[in-house]
Structure formats: C-alpha cells, structure tokens
Structure 1
Amino acid sequence: MIELELLELAYMLKPVRAIVLQSLGSIPGIDTPLQRGSEVTLPLWLAETLEKFEYVEVQGKLFTPSEISKLRFQHRQHSQIPKLEEDFFYIKARRSIEDIELRAKRETDYVLIKAVEKAKQDLFEIFKSRFSTILKAIQLEGVNTVVRQLTLEERVMTLKIANLIDEWKRRFIGFIR
C-alpha cells in the first residue's frame, strides 16, 4: 500500500537532533556547518548515515523497552484512547525493538533478549487497545471523536478502513447512512 510506504518515507525525512562528534564543515543542503560539540537538526536518514560513520550521535531516536512498557500501563489505566506524543509511534517503536533485538543477539545478552520479547508484547497490547477503540469509533461513525488522539499511522489506517466499509456499503447495501 502506497500510503504505508509514504509514512515510512515521511519518517525518514523528519528532523531529529544530533550531537556532532567530528567536525565535517558544510554539507550541501544543510544550513548549519557541522562543528564538533554542536547540536544540529538533520533529516533522520542523513543523521543515521552520519551516525554509522561516528560523525554524529542522534538524540531521542529510539524508545527503550521500559518506555514502551510505561505506555502499555498508561493504556490500561485510561478508559479513553490516550494521545501518543510521537506521530510515527509504531515506526519508531518497531525500529527501536529491531535495534535492541539486533544488539541483544550480537552480544548474546539474554536479559536484553527477554526485554525485547516483553517490549514486543507491550507494543502489541498497545496496538490492540487502540485498534479496538478505533474500530468502535468507525462502527459508531464517531471517528471525529478520536482522530485527535491518533498517530499518523493510525489516522491512515482509520481512513482506509472507513473507506473500505463505505465502499462495501455502496456496493452491497446501495447507500451510505
């Protein structure tokens, strides 16, 4: 689905803060020269590329397993769908878990492997809780009541599901209420 691929692309283009570890001077398309010790804002794709070569350290790029666990706990405590601060929450959470899992396997860290499994469960529980609320809102035709609380990924999913249901109604029932 093109919309989902565009979400991934938009995530890679989002600006992130990075600490410059080695001076690079000017980079075409970047207004600020990269001087050692400075903090700059770069598109995520560029920041990650520079981080691989140890030129920068990206700040706040990933979630920790405990942050995902806290979010799951928050979802259990609320009767309504809580707002997530990250517009690309699921992409960031998935990438965080993949990154930690890679590190855990590379270092053969069984504690970290267990933390990864817990983070996967927590993320799935967050999704199930939020998805259930979204489906109820679609069913009751009250999407507008929850849309402000949704992440960008959830808004795309909600729109696609609502459009699919509307198309189904038009085709098989003959009208949209």
Structure 2
Amino acid sequence: MTKHLPNILTILRVALIPVMILFFYLPFEWSRYMACWVFVAASITDFLDGYFARKHQTFSKFGAFLDPVADKLTVTTALIILLQDDPSILMMIAIAVIIGREITISALREWMAELGERATVNVAMVGKIKTVFQMTAIGFLLYQSDLWFIPVYPIGQILLYLAAGLTLYSMYVYIKAAVPMMKEENI
C-alpha cells in the first residue's frame, strides 16, 4: 500500500476536480466554501504525494507523468471557473499568463527531456514561491466571502496578480536555463 500511496493521492487529486466544480456551482450559500475546501484538500494531496514518494523512495514513471498533469488540471479548472465568475480584463490577463506559462514550461520540459537535458529545467525556487502565491490566491478567490474583518476576495485578486508576475519571471528563468540547448539546436 505504501508503495502506491503517492499515485493514489495523485489520482484522488484528479477525482476531486469534478467535486470542486459541483460545489462551486451549487446554488447554496455554503457551496463556495466547500469548493474552496475541496481545492485545499487537492493542494494538500499534491504536497503529500511528493512527501510520501520521497520518504518511501517510491517513484514511478506513471507518477512522474500523472503528478504534473493532476496539478495543471486542478489549477487550470479552478482558474477557469473563477474567470467565468469574474470575467474582468485583469482576471483574464492573469489567468491567461498562468495557463500559458504552464503550457509553455510543460512543452519546454518535454523538449529538454528529448534532448536528455531534463535537469536543466528542474523546478526553481521562484517556481515554488509562485505556486504558494497561486494556490493561496485560488483558495481565497474560491472562498470569496470576507472572513471576520479580512477582505478575502480582494486579497485573493492581489495574490493572483502577484502570482502572474512571478509566473512571468519563473518562465524567464526556465527559458534562460534552456537557451544554451536552443543555441545548440540552432533555434
């Protein structure tokens, strides 16, 4: 069981996506809170699957494939439903930047792996910081309501815009690391 726990957690993260969507669109006062908590639970499984894989040294090719896919599906789905809920130009730009970066870096990693240079574009610290801002922003935006005196939604918007800025910077870092290989390929 321990050997398969990381993959089970990753599959659970994918299975939580339709649950998050369902809660988001239910016509009840508490539905947004539940969508937020489902997203938080999915985010926790992301941390836990990596933790258990490292702790028990249970890495698999399937897990290496599915984990980033599950992350991108969860985040992209949450961003799309948030954009549908708030179709402002700033929200659209921030979400387009975040999703565009995810597609670009995924393609870059795939290409670098083809060249045998996958380690060149490993996760950088700025990418981890971006992820913290992004996940916190999404959680706040899903939650939406003020919490006591804290204006949750406006804070979520600011965090999302900061995450978009960090997204651009992290994309620059990854592409800069790949430039020497691009030059070798005459690109």
TM-score by length of 2: 0.34
Which of the pair has the greater relative contact order for Cα pairs under 8 Å at 6+ separation?
2
Larger Rg: 1
Give me the TM-score of the superposition, normalised by structure 1. 0.35
The structure carrying a bigger strand percent of its residues is: 1
